[in-house]
Amino acid sequence: MKFYSKPIFKYVLVGVWLLNTLALAGWLYIFSFRQTQRIAAIRNETIEQATAYHRMLISESLVLSFCLLVGGFFLSYYIYLDSKRTKKVRSFFLTFSHELKTPLASLQLQTESLHDALGDSEHREVINHLVADTNRLSLHLENSLALAEGSERKFFPEKLNFKEVIEALKNYWPNLKVQLIGDATIKADRRTFESILKNILENSYKHGDASEVVIKVDSSDSNGMLEIRIVDNGRGFNGEYKTLGKLLERQASTSGSGIGLHLVRELTKSLGGNISFPRVDSGFAVKLDLPGII
C-alpha cells in the first residue's frame, strides 16, 4: 500500500496544517505588535492606547489559535473514527472470506473429480463450464481477500518454475488452450504470482471470449528481470488503455468492475515488477516485467 493511502498520512496532514496555521497566527501577532509600536511612535499615542491595542491583538490571536486547535482536534477525531470503521469492514471481509474458503475448496475438489470421471462423456461441455464457474468463484473470493488484506498481506518469496505454475493453472479453464513459449525461474510469492496469472487468464476467457492464450517468457533489457508477454485471441479491447488497471473502472455495460486487472497491477508492483498493456492487431496483450532468470 502506498504511504499516502495509509490512515497515518491523514494525521500527518492534519499536523502539518495545524503547524502552518499556528505559525501564521504567530506571525500575525508579531507583525501586528510591531505595527502597533510604529503607529504609536508616529502618532505619539499614549502608552495606554498602545497597550489596549496590543491586548486586542493578543486576544484576537488567541481566539484564532483556539479555533484552529479545536478544528484540528475534530479533524483528527473524525479521521480516527473513519479509520476504526474501515478496520471493522476489513475485518468482516477477512472473516467472511476465510469462512468461505473451506467449503469452496471442497466444492472445487468435487467438481474436478467429476470432471476426471465424466470428462469424456456426453456431458463434457456442461462439466467444463461447471469447473470454470467454480474456479471463477474461487478467484473472486481470492480477490476479495486480497483487497481486504491490503498492506497487511504477507509475502513469502521463493524460487518458482514458471512452467510448473502454468501447468497447474491450466485445469482452471478446461476450454481455454494455454501455450507456453520458453521457461524461467521466478523469485516471487507463489500465492501472489498465481493470483496475477489467474486474473489475466480469467480476463481473457471471461471478458475477451478467448479460446487460446500464448505466454512467451524472455529475458528483459533490465538485469535480473524477465519479460512475460501474454497474448490472447479474444475480441480485444476498444476502450481507453489509460483506464486499464483502475479500480471499479467499467469499460462497457458487459465488463466487470476492474478489480482483476487492478489487483494484477498492484500485486505486480508488490513483487518488484511492472505491468503494461501493449496494443496488438488482434486480441489483448499484457506485458509483465518480474524478477527472475531464464
d(CA 238, CA 99): 38
Residue 3 confidence (pLDDT) above 70? no
72 and 170 co-located in one domain: no
pLDDT at 35: 66
pLDDT at 238 over 90: no
CB contact set of 245 (below 8 Å; sequence gap of 6+) = 258, 261, 262, 264, 265, 275, 277
pLDDT at residue 141 is higher than 60: yes
Give residue 6's pLDDT.
59
Are residues 166 and 196 located together in one domain of the fold? yes
Residue 15 sits in the same domain as residue 141 = yes
Lowest mean pLDDT segment, chosen from 34-48, 129-143, 158-172, 217-231:
34-48
> Which distant-in-sequence residues (6+ apart) come within 8 Å of 11 by Cβ?
76, 79
Q: Say yes or no: 170 and 211 in one domain.
A: yes
Is the domain of 222 the same as that of 246? yes
Under the banding of pLDDT at 50, 70 and 90, the label for residue 286 is: very high
Record the cell numbers describing residue 11, joined without a space. 494525521
Residue 213 pLDDT > 90? yes
The CATH number that applies at residue 163 is 3.30.565.10
Among 152, 179, 204, give the residue marking a domain's end.
152
99-131 pLDDT, tens digit per residue, is 777 777 788 788 878 777 776 667 777 887 787
Domain of 184 in residue numbering reads as: 154-293
Please return the burial class of 2, using the count of CB atoms within 10 Å of its CB with bins 0-12, 13-18 and 19+. exposed
Q: Is the pLDDT of residue 268 over 80?
A: yes
DSSP class of residue 284? -
- Is 143 found in the same domain as 202? no
Same domain, 172 and 197: yes
Neighbour count for residue 220 (Cβ, 10 Å): 19
Could you tell me if 89 and 228 lie in one domain?
A: no
Distance CA 290, CA 288 (A): 6
pTM for this one? 0.64
pLDDT, average across residues 44-58: 67
Total structural domains within the chain? 2
The answer on 36 and 179 residing in a single domain is: no
